[in-house]
Structure 1
Amino acid sequence: VRLGSATDGRETDNPVNLVTDCRERIEKLKEQLNLQSTGLSAEGKLKLLELLEKYHEAFAVSDDEFGLTNVTEHTIDTGDARPIKQPARPVPIPLKPQVREMVDTMLKQKVISPSSSAWNSPVVLVIKKDGSLRMCIDYRKLNAVTKKDAYPLPNQDVLLMSLKNKKIFTALDLAAGYYQIPMSDEDKEKTAFSILGDRDASLLNAFLALSFGS
């Protein structure tokens, strides 16, 4: 699920794998839904398809499609802490092309943008079990000077009781959920991170949306 439409608050000059044709989008959603596994009656399936067609823009059909909420924005309260600037960590030569591709994709998606921030956190590369690469930002020093939020979570038992006598359940997952929450303008610079380029030039970017770990 994506918040807003494909371009709400995130216009892209070169959209990445976006499906803009209405009918094509609906057909792709139908393929992904797999109605046969829903357990719904024929009437229920018809109603579900009607809802899908009506709200098709709310659903992502690829990993590159996600919206941007206008309900809230993420802030990083560091009080009067001075900017923390850490050196970039070397990227192993065999991994540089993958890292560059990741950064280029995030730039095209308008998740990050070039920065000249006084803040800087280093990149940490993690090889996942399937052999793919995950790029993480080491925000430990930023987190250490950030005021922590406190939010009371709903009671689990009360939530379960609210499901009593319900017959149909739907599970929805936000596509790249973090990236659908915009970063406040004054705090974007605090999310800056850098990688060492091919000529050991530090490439600095900052997040326009909520970053993993911040």
Structure 2
Amino acid sequence: MLVDTGSAVTLISKNVYEKLGEIKPKLTEVSTILTTADGEPMKVMGASNLLLQLNNHGFIHSAIVADLGDIAGILGLDFLSKYEVTISASQGTLTFPNFTVKLLIDSDVQATCARVQLADTVQVPGRAKMIVREKIDADLTGNVDSILEPIDGFQGEKHVLIPKSVVQTSDTEVVFSILNPTPHAVILKRNLTVASLQPIKEIMEENFQQPTSSTEKSVKIPEHLQALTENVSDNLTFSQRSDIGKAISEYADVFVGPDGKLGRTDLVEHSILTETDRPVKVLPRRLPISQREVAAAEIDKMLKNDIIEPSHSPYSAPIVLDEVKYLGHVVSADGIKCDPEKINSVKNWPVPESVSDVRSFLGIASYYRKFIDKFSTIAFPLTQLTCKDKRFIWTDECQESFVTLKNALISTKVLAYPMRTDKFIIDTDASNFGMGAVLSQVQNGEERVIAYGVRPFLGLKGDTVRLIENF
């Protein structure tokens, strides 16, 4: 940002304005014609009231958005007068009523800067690059590595371009290139200033000072929050980055502390009606085996950080429940078991008196068959009663099958969850009535059943059954 007492108005670069993105204010038309120091008309986009910030102090001021090249903005006489700003050239300061800004005097920076002028009239052919040797208006003493920068008129605003480059000067001459991207030849007249030149050594040795405020306090950001300022977008300006740093420093207590615990707040209170309103329940979501370890680790982390706690409340949410009822099953950390409420109805189930009664009993028993070892063998006498054209005769075998299934359902085991990291074990068996299998794993040194599988031999002849057994 430049301070120019010769400028009647305050200007902001269009590049800075465009970086505001969606928050940039609308511009109003400017009727005044503005010109540069050399009399060239200035390209103006419009004017608006903008927030200008200097050393943490904000000023709402009307500024004109214009093409200023590499200059971010110009503080004009209107701004200096409105806010009673005093300039001290001897001390290099810009003094406001309540704070002071250190200035970087242009004469200090440009002390050894030289202008590059054309020694003769040059004609640059269309779509061509020309290497020229031109004169310097100051003696840089011998061969010096310098930075050559084109002036505003040769940075793409006109037809001819001069690239910014590192060059070596020879007393009062320098060699550089001129590019003409247009199809027509361009004539550049003698003594035309086209670029500036400054020795690299002088640039490196200059002691540039960042503007500081006499009333500004240093911003200290806790070590565990410094990554927040380091990871901000590169599109932010220095001022915006500073604002983020100050906000993080001021509200550091709302972030997670170095111990990883979130903490609590009493700033907001709310009430939950527990007498008349129904509890809020959210059904648990199915979780793939590959994600169960991750979920368990996150739950353990939240428990350690006092974010959650074990609860038997009717209020529920996914994942953090220690026991869930789902489709007649109880799912817990220990495994899967039958829902006791569903099984209790089996205790007092009356002895079937018809095929329809047998089918009803086998329906609920078959639903939990994965919990009962050799289910098809035990249920075979009852299954035979449901065959087509079979007379209903309740035998001692049927009674034994009925009682055995009832006891098996009441005392079902808890099935374990399959662990993808452990090996599976399959045990198979067969009889004259059916075949079965048990899928299990050794978990924590104990073999645990994951599921029982059964298949009755309905409609098969005796020879076929014996063949399967012998096989």
Check whether TM > 0.5. no
Give the structure with higher Rg (CA): 2
- Give the TM bin, normalised by the shorter chain: 0.3 to 0.5
Return the structure number with greater relative CO, CA threshold 8 A, min gap 6.
1
- Structure with more of its chain in strand, by fraction: 2
TM-score by length of 1: 0.35
- Structure with more of its chain in helix, by fraction: 1
